[in-house]
Structure 1
Amino acid sequence: MVNYDDKRNFYRMMLNSEVTVTIIDDEANSKITATCRDLSATGIAIEMEHPLEMNTAVHISVQSANSAVQPLDVKGKVVRVKEESSNCYLIGINISEID
């Protein structure tokens, strides 16, 4: 279990799942494949090759490995962008809506 030292209101579930990110703010509704690192009741951290602008509205779909479990679809805004290495950015999304 993850240590609860960061005083968050919700525990984070560590994942390593492929997700589809749709950028709502652009006219084309661009779709990007990314990796979900962790997920909580209020946020999601994704890893991708290119940064996103702060406050960008996104829709994220996390597919389930089990067909009996529905995919998770959330909407939110980018609240953190951190360059981890060359071509690797950690993007923090604040979840505003769960479908």
Structure 2
Amino acid sequence: MLEYDEKRNYIRMSVDCELTYKLADASESHSGICTSISGSGVSFIADQSFDPGSAMEVNITPKNTITPPMTAYIEVVRTTKQDNGRYEIAAAIKSIKGH
């Protein structure tokens, strides 16, 4: 029998969809790729690095029309430079904006 002991409060789902991101106090948005999402966090690929603790806003646009777009306010937890020069941003979801 296979056993899986999930240590997270929410299961993380791998996704591959577009998102836009910006610092909370910025007006200019940038495009990235959302790689995973859970009830409490999100990770995405960006062209720039962000310091842990940075407050940001993301708009996630799923590829299917069944799932509605989501706007969330996040706090950066970790930034990891990728081999291709881009950055993986891991962040905690602080709140979700109603549409």
Q: Which residue of 1 aligns with 2:30?
A: 32
Match of 1:49 among 32, 47, 50: 47
Report the TM-score, using the length of structure 1 for normalisation: 0.82
Gap runs ≥5 in structure 2: none
Offset at 1:84? 1.9
Between 49-58 and 71-80, the greater mean CA deviation after superposition = 49-58
Conserved in 2, the CA contact under 8 Å of 1:52 and 1:81?
yes
Contact residue 57 and residue 77 of structure 1 kept, 8 A? yes
In the alignment, what sits opposite 2:11? Answer: 11
- Aligned-residue Cα RMSD (Å) equals 2.0
Equivalent residue pairs, number? 95
Identity of aligned residues (%): 25
1:93 paired residue number: 91
Larger Rg: 2
- TM-score, normalised by the number of residues in structure 2: 0.82
Structure 1 gap ranges (5+): none
Q: Which residue of 1 aligns with 2:76?
A: 78
Matched-pair contact (CA < 8 Å) for 2:18–2:62 = no
By how many angstroms is 1:79 displaced?
Answer: 0.7
